[in-house]
Structure 1
């Protein structure tokens, strides 16, 4: 190899090697610091594009999972309210049975009637308060007060926009053939259960179907024919209301199981998508660590080589020294 002061081939080679090593080292240091082997489209356009799309799906599935969680909360709140209503209905059945034992006592009839009406107030209050973020599955509509904005629940079940609906149970009860006395649409829960009539949404009942308005000392003509009180029919009326509410809890239980299953599946989908993005973009930290050490050594050697190559020009001077 000839010696030239204009062209230092060794220095050029050493510099190219150093630049290449420095570029690779920068990439490795970025992977180590971010934990990603593909952090921009420049690293791997195809992998970056696929990962970006999958990341969007992860965000979408997260929203679906949040919606399922909200639906679960609505169903849970409604279930608790329905169970409490059934407990109150049991008290009404006891009171109605006692009413049959006091047919000849106007004072007792009036007192028991007021007790039953009070129980009906409890039922309607519980139904109105079973509201989660404006959704109430027991209300007769959106006029019941307490910020009720929807009497049915719609929620998204999957990434592709599939939806499901839980219809309000007030209308279900009202249209239940097992309830002999049912109110009109959008009525109170006690009207729908056939235990009161002509109720106003958002207001407590002022009467019951067994004794009529507050203070009444006689049994309603519905269950009193020519002085003969049909105690069996009164008890049956309450039992039918219990049956209707039990049907509601059964449906709520089925929805709880469905939502639990879908939430579990949604979490699995999110995990799989996250793992898929990781497989495309995550760096192997063990391999990157070994590569970093190797490149740092190569960098040091390249700098040393460039230093030696640059010294060759100085060697030319010795040829002209006497």
Structure 2
């Protein structure tokens, strides 16, 4: 037979325990909905939280890798732009040398072609010297190679520099011609310089393609890591919304159950009338 006591209301205690449990679950669901995360701190699930934090840190550090690779792209792009200008100048120099090799030219015409040739030669030097990005050049002969970040472990992507100055393509600041015979000889020198320049530009183009490919890979890897972290800690809001409604109903019923349990003690008063 159940004990009728005004000191201890077992039914109310049970109803209160259930109500507290429901309130705790409701608070958890509300927190997940407000933050969008099912695991927001280490106390929610220490192992998964630690894994997510480590992966999130790796994904964030990849921003430094992407920045470095993009600097590499820009450095090579500047060198390639200078190289395009230099090859165009070499083509014009060859044209001037060929025209000057014509023995039928008068002195005035020859000297004009010679002056144009030397002006174009000097522009090659300017193009190579000014081919800098952020104060660094891989075309002017001041460096042999540059290494950019390739991964979060500090490993690098190395790009070999290609000197596109006059000395780097087989010419000099004194390259010129004094007569038609020398101009004819210069044609072969310019052709060799042009071939050297285009080969170096082709090599830089290959390096640029490699950087582009690796940068794309790093971007995809970062996206995959971010998605993986989301799978670990993000809340399913549709599911949590449905659970919220369920718990709110359960909470209301719990309050009513507690009220009924508390009213049972009042029934004892009827026994004394």
Same-fold call, TM cutoff 0.5: yes
Give secondary structure in 2 for the equivalent of 1:169: coil
Question: Are 1:290 and 2:242 matched, yes or no?
Answer: yes
**In 2, Cα distance between equivalents of 1:87 and 1:279:** 54
Equivalent residue for 2:224? Answer: 272
How far off is 1:277 after superposition? 0.8
State which of 135, 158, 163 in structure 1 corresponds to 2:156.
163
Alignment size in residue pairs: 272
Give secondary structure in 2 for the equivalent of 1:37: coil
TM-score norm. by structure 2 comes to 0.92
More helix by share: 2
Give secondary structure in 1 for the equivalent of 2:264: helix
**In 2, Cα distance between equivalents of 1:306 and 1:20:** 13
Q: After the TM superposition, which residues 183-222 of structure 1 pair with which residues of structure 2 at under 5 Å, given as runs? A: 189-197=165-173, 208-211=174-177, 218-219=178-179
**In 1, Cα distance between equivalents of 2:35 and 2:217:** 30
Q: After the TM superposition, which residues 51-130 of structure 1 pair with which residues of structure 2 at under 5 Å, given as runs? A: 51-101=52-102, 105-130=106-131
How far off is 1:231 after superposition? 4.2
**In 1, Cα distance between equivalents of 2:102 and 2:91:** 17
**In 1, Cα distance between equivalents of 2:122 and 2:271:** 114
Q: Which sits farther off after the overlay, 108-117 or 84-93?
A: 108-117
Q: 1:102 touches 1:108 (CA, 8 Å); kept in 2?
A: no
Root mean square deviation of aligned Cα: 2.0
How far off is 1:93 after superposition? 0.5
How far off is 1:104 after superposition? 6.3
CA separation of 1:106/1:193 partners in 2, compared to 1, >3 Å: closer, same or farther?
Answer: farther
How far off is 1:232 after superposition? 3.9
Q: 1:139 touches 1:151 (CA, 8 Å); kept in 2?
A: no
Q: 1:135 touches 1:151 (CA, 8 Å); kept in 2?
A: no
Question: Are 1:310 and 2:262 matched, yes or no?
Answer: yes
Q: 2:82 touches 2:128 (CA, 8 Å); kept in 1?
A: yes
CA-to-partner distance for each residue in 1:35-75, whole Å, 9 max, x for gaps?
Answer: 11111000000000110110111012222122222211222
Q: Which sits farther off after the overlay, 310-319 or 243-252?
A: 310-319
Q: Which has the higher contact order (CA 8 A, sep 6+)?
A: 2
TM-score norm. by structure 1 comes to 0.79
CA-to-partner distance for each residue in 1:95-136, whole Å, 9 max, x for gaps?
Answer: 111121258644333322221221123222222222111221
> Structure 2: 5+ residue runs without aligned partners?
none
How far off is 1:311 after superposition? 1.7
